[in-house]
Amino acid sequence: MERMKPSRPLLICALVFVLSCGGNESKSPPSPPSAPSPVPPGPAVPTRYTVSGTVRDAPGGPIEGVDVAGGALFSKTGPGFSTKTDVAGRYRGELPAGTWQFSFRKPGYQTFESGNVSVSGDTILDATLHLGIQVFGTVKEVGVGPLDDARVEVVSGPDMGRSTLTGHPIPGQYFFDHLLPGEFRLRASKEGYDPVEQILKATADTFNVDFTLKWSYGSCLKSVAPVFFDRYPSAGGSETASVEINGDHRWSATADVPWIEVIQRFPQTGSGRVTFRVLPNPVGAVDRRKGAVMIRCSASEGQNVWIWQLPDCQVQLRAAPDSPATFPANGGIGHLLMHTGVAGCRWEARSEAEWIRTSGVSSWSGDLDVGVFFVVNPNTTGHARMGLFIVGETAWQVTQQ
């Protein structure tokens, strides 16, 4: 039997079928690869310019080791730079375009500051530093504290003759600037007090150059005690001070304010006592007041007995919910809510026990919304203890296990 040969159409169809042309589903040709998505550009980096220069002293010589800062000096985030001058007095930094501040500092020289310097390209900024230091401190009265209106003066050295007064604006403090560095003598003085001098060797800014003045006793006075009544009760009262005199010198005692009354008659001869009465601070007073009993042998020999009297703030205290009624032996934090019966009255918080200390705001005028806080230290004595925490004139009892 003769075998049949496939016809040409069938052969073509078979080939087409193999190539998937004749199936029920056809495959489309593959797509060309897609182009990558464009990456968005990042923020433009600002162009930075060179700021450089030379720092010299007044005669024109270079100064090495000057601290140079430039940029947004009062911003935590900058921009800015910080560097030191080299042996030739040169410095270099970089900043973007803008208006910037610069400072040049070195101990023994006056600080030079330059603001609103425009940088729009490479910039040269030179500086000249002049010799000069700052000196400040406090003048105190023996047994009393800061003393206002005392004169502090330079009595030797290139700046001889310069002087200033204490207490403007900070009680007892004085301040000098632009003094030439080196060795010089300072004197603190005030009428009625023995002057005090000290030699200072200062090549840089110098702090806490303090003086303590004592009243001039001369040949008359030997001692007066006490000389200071601090935080005197607003209700007033009577007090006595002992006065010890050399030989039979005569002396007197008078008050410098009308609310203090000296009871005895004066003058007296020889040692004795002075008794005085402090009148109540008027209801409604909002600040403490200061007065003195002036003990004098002569215009230049004497001693003041000072009285600082509290106002009657009428402070009311109560425990905050988070404050322990009795503190455990390991200590803790006390919290008191407070109210003043006199609006705007100035009060102070303090402790009369060494194991209790103030925390946070300790002085204010009028009510303090957050209240007052104190810290109780751990008790290592082995027995319970009690102490007082005082706000104004109101005492709060603190107990600890």
Topology, domain 315-400? Immunoglobulin-like (2.60.40)
d(CA 65, CA 55): 10
Annotated domain spans of the chain = 49-129, 133-215, 221-309, 315-400
Give the C-alpha separation, 128 to 58, whole Å.
6
pLDDT of residue 267: 94
Q: Is the pLDDT assigned to residue 76 strictly greater than 50?
A: yes
Q: How confident is the model at residue 278 (pLDDT cuts 50, 70, 90)?
A: very high
Strands of 42-162, DSSP E: 48-57, 67-71, 80-84, 90-96, 98-105, 112-119, 123-124, 127-129, 133-141, 145-146, 151-156
At 14 the pLDDT is: 40
Is residue 147 within 8 A of residue 172, CB to CB? The reply is yes
**What is residue 45's predicted lDDT score, i.e. its pLDDT?**
64
C-beta of residue 353 within 8 angstroms of C-beta of residue 396 = no
Whole-number pLDDT of residue 40: 66
**Span 296-304, average pLDDT:** 93
**Amino acid 62: pLDDT:** 98
Q: What is the pLDDT of residue 46?
A: 76
Mean pLDDT of all residues belonging to the chain: 91
Rounded to whole angstroms, the Cα distance separating 266 from 3 reads: 162
The domain over range 49-129 is classified in CATH as 3.40.50.1970: no
State pTM to two decimals.
0.69
Mean pLDDT of 26-35: 57
Confidence of residue 234 (pLDDT cuts 50, 70, 90): very high
% of residues, the chain, pLDDT over 90: 86
**Domain 221-309 fold:** Immunoglobulin-like (2.60.40)
Examine the pLDDT at 158 and tell me if it is beyond 80: yes
The fourth-level CATH superfamily of domain 133-215 is Carboxypeptidase-like, regulatory domain (2.60.40.1120)
